Amino acid sequence: MSSRPETARERTPWLMGAGILLVVFAMVAFILRDVLVQRGLPGLESRIFYSSEVYTRSVLATGQLPYWNPFYFSGTPHFADPENLVLYPPALALRWLPAPAFMQWMVILHVLIGGAGMVFLTRVVGAGWVGALVAALAFAGGGTVTSWLHHGHVLLLYGAAWLPWALGGAIRSASRGGVLPHAGLVVVMVLQFLSGYLQGSIYVGAVIAAYFLFRVASDRSQPGLARLKPLAQLLVLTLIAAGLAAFQLWPTLQLAREAGRSGGIDYVAASQDAWRFDDLSSLFLPFHGLVQEPVHRYLGDRTAYVGWLIVLMVPFAFTARATRSIAGFFLALAVVAIVVALGDHLGVYRLHYALFPGFRVPGRTLFIATIGLAVLGALGLEQFVRLCQSRDWKRMAMPAALALTWAFVSVVGGLRVSPGSVAPMPGWPWLPIVLVATIAAVAAVSANRRPRAAAALAIACVVLDLGLFSAQAVHAAPVPRGTFWAGMPSVNDGRILSTCWMDLGESLESRVPTVDGLANMYLRDYADWAALVKNGNVPGERTLVTKLNALDGSLPARRDLLDLANATTVISCAPLNDPALRERARFDHYWVYQNDSARARAFWTCGVEVLSRGEIVTRLLSARYSPDGGLMTTHPISVRWAAGLAESARQETEDRYRLGVGEDIGDRVRRYFVSNPDAQQLRLLAAEQTVEDTNGFDRLTGAVSVTGPVAGVSRAADREWLIGTRPCPSPGTVNVVARDRPDGKVVAEVDAPVAGDVYFSEPHFRERRAYVDGVGVDVRKVNIAFTAVPVPQGRHRVELRYEPTTFYGGAGISGLTLIGWLGVSWGTRRSPNANRA
């Protein structure tokens, strides 16, 4: 069969689309010029994702999937966290590039995806090519993308880039009728989820659901139940997309069950950086109220700027009857997104928090407003030109008055409420005059029937506006050179703790295990354990992840619990005075200490007791682990020593009253944990002339306070285990022969004198299973966050494995869904009634 030659008319859409993408590429290249020239990373926080990418590709190079990351937070799931983009198709397509170039081209690709999506969306809703180009430029150079790139929030960009495609696909799909959604919409929804930004995926899903509901409410042409077909299509879309993405969705849901953010965070933290009412002025004055530069540092998730021309054209989108309905939908999207961004000011964010207590930053919804305003501006611009061409000044009067009033109130109100000390926008005050004059010129040229000149002026206006806005937005972050750990003296086997700032990303790249990390979907139990270790108090609920690194040079409050995490090396930016820490080396401005009291990665114990979570926390707060692993009840006693007391004299008094070493808590006060306090000895201590004051016991009777059950423990009724509750008759031996593997496997050879447990300083996770001599056994969660495996007496081989059953099951579901979807689609196409709609 011979194919007919393609006509010029058929080639025009492709040529126009390619031309628009070329312009968008030029815009993003201009925004990223510093990154491209210096061959750096796009924004400082992109360093986090760079480290993850380096680890991911190093494991993939061995032919494995990186199920586990043993180098962050003592070990954490890697593949199950979608932020790591392990099987995200665009990431797979670009992994042949070096990691720095990969980061750059992932950003460029997604800006192009978003720009192309804006072209598709605006064309679907009825805009022409000029409007499509203006909308694409608004996405590429507007406030949402540029502020994200300044901070390196690349995942947010990846997720937002698919929203225009999803919206355009939903409009096309719903207009076809029937129950099966458009294939392109299904693929886009799967890709959007795999892009790694879960909060954005919820927002995108809500927007698509809102459109289908809008379609049902606004479509009067269908009788009876036929009007509900869009809802049926939405249901089928959800099922197919979830089924196709199940290979990632199911592991992610499993991780979400045990992740800290899933349990919610404090409302104050969740609503941080919400908009104020005067921030509405940022639609015209993006830098208003700022007091210092660089301005884009303070715009993250706080602007939806798309340029003066686009915003001023919004009212004109409602002058055409054909697009008035869809324009109302996009206006509603923008308004709802802005209302959510206002946080508590209108109360809607309280509902948002009730539904999604793990989400934070109200301004994260502003990318929806950006896209909504860009579409409205594109529709309005073309209608503005048409009205000028027809010289229908009467129909233009109302939208023109609304636009000018909106601009006047925003500018005057913004400058009065938050004057700031930085110019409220680039080129202030001449740029607004130039922009308004250009819009007037567009009107004049359009009235003279010169549409190409009007289009050129409008595009130039948008390019000038957004170009100046984004000119200094993005600066290159340096690519890590791997010099820190390469130059660091070799550290002992075990994990690292730093008491000052340390590049944890480089620790992952160099495969150095740490007790802290940069992962986002951290395990909730490990975060609770870290809070107790760091502060010595009840782990707080609804907080962001707690790191043991205090950044102020101080060691965690519960050193005994830290020792159980195999923290063999402590790195500090200043000398540390601790008898358990032995200086090993000095490197650059760091001090490297060996922690002689750290326990091995795995050890045998016979004293494991099942208790409730509340009882375990109470016991841990009222007791300390001795060097042999026993949990001894202690009583905190504080002593304020006399001014000028020599250290030797203080130590002599400490030894005489069996106080122990103690810890310095400031202002000549030291805290001691006494296991067997003697009332007579404590009374004598209080009477010492070298002691100014005491706390923790009655000075008259010597009686110590007794710790009762603590309150405020999350999941207090959960049944778990606690180690060290009774002495063992003789020590067992454990030799760890495999650890720190991307498959999560840890292997130990055990010689147990009696039946007991092997304690692994490995975080407990449901998909980690235990085997003793190849036979599966129960895995116990011990000490809030870690893992123990019961072993009988004798010599055994104990294995802790990561078994990704959710991935295997999800992959099976994805395969079956794909086969079923293709089969139904093929059958529908062959049906005689397939084309009736």
Burial label for 577, CB within 10 Å (0-12, 13-18, 19+), is: exposed
Q: Which amino acid is at 1?
A: M
Residue 694 dihedral angles phi and psi, to the nearest 5°: -135, 165
Number of domains in the chain: 4
Strand partners, 670: 639, 664
Range of lowest pLDDT (72-76, 511-515, 698-702, 784-788): 698-702
Does 389 lie in the same domain as 286? yes
Token pair of 226 as six digits:
């036929």
Domain limit, last residue, from 695, 715, 737 = 695
Of 564, 599, 634, which residue constitutes the final position of a domain?
599
Distances (CA, A) of 302 to 142, 293, 343, 345, 358: 12, 15, 12, 15, 20
Whichever domain contains 738, its CATH number is 2.60.40
On whether residue 768 sits in a domain, the answer given is yes
Q: How confident is the model at residue 247 (pLDDT cuts 50, 70, 90)?
A: very high
Residue at a domain's end among 572, 599, 626: 599
- In Å, what is the CA distance from 652 to each residue of 645, 648, 658, 659? 11, 6, 10, 10
- 512 and 626 housed in the same domain: no
Residue 42 pairs with which residues in a beta bridge?
476
pLDDT reported for residue 648:
86
List the one residue out of 604, 552, 548, 643 whose CA is nearest residue 724.
Answer: 604
CA within 13 Å, CB half, 238: 14
Q: Which residue did the predictor score with more confidence, 413 or 388?
A: 388
Q: Which of 170-174, 275-279, 761-765 has the lowest mean pLDDT?
A: 275-279
Domain that holds residue 681: 607-695
785-809 pLDDT, tens digit each: 999 999 999 999 999 999 999 999 9
Instruction: Indicate if 618 and 644 belong to the same structural domain.
Output: yes
Return the higher-pLDDT residue of 97 and 221: 97
Band (835; pLDDT cuts 50, 70, 90): very low
Kindly report which listed range (546-555, 589-598, 607-616) carries the lowest average pLDDT score: 546-555
Claim to verify: residue 449 and residue 501 sit in the same structural domain? no
Claim to verify: residue 632 and residue 516 sit in the same structural domain: no
Q: Are residues 632 and 778 in the same domain?
A: no
Which strand (E) or helix (H) includes residue 605? strand 602-605
Residue 438: inside a domain: yes
| Beta strand 786-791 pairing with 794-802 | unpaired
Where does the pLDDT of residue 668 fall: very low under 50, low under 70, confident under 90, or very high at 90 and above?
A: confident
Q: What is the mean pLDDT of the chain?
A: 89
541: pLDDT strictly greater than 70: no
pLDDT at 64: 94
Domain presence at residue 147? yes
Tens digit of each residue's pLDDT (9 = 90 or more) over 103-118: 999 999 999 999 999 9
Please tell me whether residues 271 and 392 are part of one structural domain: yes
* Residue 663 pLDDT level (bands cut at 50, 70, 90): confident
Q: Which range has the worst mean pLDDT, 268-272, 510-514, 528-532, 569-573?
A: 268-272
Closest CA to 567 of 579, 577, 581: 581
Angle, vertex CA 224, rays to CA 220 and CA 227, nearest 5: 50
Distances in Å between the alpha carbon of 582 and those of 246, 364, 554, 575? 50, 47, 16, 11
DSSP secondary structure string for all residues of 375-396? HHHHHHHHHHHHHHHHT-HHHH
* pLDDT for position 834: 47
Residues 358 and 449 in one domain: yes
198 inside domain: no
Mean local confidence (pLDDT), 219-236? 80
Q: Give yes or no: residues 689 and 799 share one domain.
A: no
SS3 category, 77:
strand
φ/ψ of residue 690, rounded to 5: -80, -5
Give residues with Cβ within 8 angstroms of 626, minimum separation 6. 632
532 and 644 part of one domain = no
**Section 403-411 average pLDDT:** 92
Do 674 and 746 lie in one domain? The reply is no
pLDDT of residue 4: 46
Indicate if 347 and 372 belong to the same structural domain.
yes
Q: Is residue 206 part of a domain?
A: no
Q: Is residue 713 part of a domain?
A: no
Question: Is residue 645 included in any domain, yes or no?
Answer: yes
Whole-number pLDDT of residue 831 = 59
For the ranges 235-249, 381-395, 420-434, 692-706, the lowest mean pLDDT is seen at 692-706
Instruction: Judge whether 225 lies within some domain.
Output: no
What's the half-sphere exposure (Cβ side, CA atoms, 13 Å) at 29?
A: 6
Residue type, 652: E
Query: Cα separation of 702 and 679, whole Å?
Result: 4
